[in-house]
Structure 1
Amino acid sequence: MQYFTADTHFFHDRLLGVSEFAPRPFLTVEDMNETIINNWNQVVDENDIVYHLGDIAMLHTRPAKAAYEQIFEVLDSLNGRLVLIKGNHDARDLFKYLEKNNHPAGSGMKFEFHDVGALIKMNHRQYYLTHYPMMMGIVKQIINLHGHIHHYAVPIKENINVGVDTPETDYLDEKIPFGTPLSSAQVEKMVEQKAIDFAKRR
């Protein structure tokens, strides 16, 4: 199966508690990290692919290699193979470290890397996967899945925020536990319901 997520911000203590930008109800980053890991591994299996659309972690430990080691340990504990699309908080050196320590997982390698984005086809639609929301104009059958804007949504029906803080899971019937990647079926439901919602606004 394919899953989608963004903006996990592992280790990012400034998002805890009363943060104005993306408040998260955790007392410690350890609690936040563990919650994301547990909820992720509840739904993702070893052979699943998870597209992570950027802003993996924020950890300023020095030397940088020590931070990369801790981030690698967290990512390696997540089920599935990770397709990583670089976010604005993701250092290129982190990607180099992950690539150096890449290893077989499931039926492929643990990590795959994209600097800007990836285009995939799923259920007769094309999905452009990016960190930043893209203003693509009217392009039939292309949906932009993105992160970056945390608890905001782009007022365009073709843009779907799949980050862990997204408000667009309100289009789903079920509540998604924090940090759980969205399945392809859930993404399809969000696309369909957002289109219906926008059609009503005309």
Structure 2
Amino acid sequence: MNFFTSDTHFYHESLLNSPVFSPRSQFLTFEEMNEKIIESWNNKVKQTDTVYHLGDISLAFTKPAHLIMTKTLEILNRLNGNLVIIKGNHDNMSLLKFLMANNYVTVNGELKFTIHEVGTRIKFNHYEVFLTHYPLMFGITKNKINLHGHIHNYSVHQKENINVGIDSPEIDYLPSGSVSFGAPLSESEIIHIIQAKRTDYLQRV
């Protein structure tokens, strides 16, 4: 089964009390935030599933830089599933190369990490789905959808754009309380959001 997420920002302490941008004030420490995301993720994702992570895995200004790369690898190795990672603006190439240097084959015979620097494309439920970190602007299309992250607690006012980040307000299109903080979204949940946002959008224009 495929899942989708973005902007986990593991170790990003200053995000917790940001006055404007994606505050996560429900957590007192980044350790608490990290553990909640891991718990929510593993309660939903099986070891044989695939999770598309659309960027901004972790963020901490530590020295030496190798320290945060090692800690990020430790976190990712605790997460169930194979990870297809789209590079975010806070994911430097050193981290991605470090992950590839420490890659391995998981229980389903697939590599733990697959890296795309810009994005990738898949198809499901008759949709052509473009997976990127930054939102794409398609214009009016029938069956093209852009799953993205980057904008945290904001959304693009276009029915073709779905923010799958863990802070996304578009999770509110799903039944209240059905997605625990940090849990990736399943394909069926994505379809529900697409249809609900389209209905909402058409009522607003």
TM-score under structure 2 length normalisation: 0.96
- Aligned position for 1:57: 58
1:127-175 residue CA offsets vs partner (Å, 9 max, x unmatched): 0000001111123211000000000010000000000000001111142
Paired residue type of 1:52 = H
- Aligned position for 1:79: 80
- Contact 1:81/1:106, CA 8 A, preserved across alignment: no
1:128 to 118, 125, 130: 130
- Aligned position for 1:147: 149
- Aligned equivalents of 2:135, 2:67: Cα separation in 1: 31
The runs of 5 or more residues in structure 2 that have no matched partner are none
- Aligned equivalents of 2:77, 2:23: Cα separation in 1: 26
- Aligned equivalents of 1:162, 1:120: Cα separation in 2: 15
Correspondence 1:4-83 to 2 at 5 A: 4-24=4-24, 25-83=26-84
Structure 1 pair 131–194 and aligned structure 2 pair: CA distance change class (3 A): same
- Aligned equivalents of 1:131, 1:87: Cα separation in 2: 6
The runs of 5 or more residues in structure 1 that have no matched partner are none
Paired residue type of 1:128 = F
Which segment is superposed worse, 12-21 or 144-153? Answer: 12-21
Q: CA deviation at 1:41?
A: 0.2
SS at match of 2:71: helix
SS at match of 1:160: strand
Q: Percent identity?
A: 51
- Aligned equivalents of 2:134, 2:18: Cα separation in 1: 24
When the two chains are superposed, the root-mean-square deviation of aligned CA atoms in Å is: 0.9
TM-score under structure 1 length normalisation: 0.97
Q: CA deviation at 1:106?
A: 2.8
Paired residue type of 2:41 = W
Matched, 1:189 2:192: yes
1:137 to 134, 139, 146: 139
SS at match of 1:104: coil
Aligned length: 202
Matched, 1:201 2:204: yes
Paired residue type of 2:195 = E
SS at match of 1:105: coil
Paired residue type of 1:193 = A
* Structure 1 ranges of 4+ moved more than 3 A: none
- Aligned equivalents of 1:19, 1:72: Cα separation in 2: 29
- Aligned position for 1:93: 94
Q: CA deviation at 1:18?
A: 4.4
Paired residue type of 1:14 = S
- Aligned position for 1:117: 119
- Contact 1:80/1:106, CA 8 A, preserved across alignment: no
SS at match of 1:149: coil
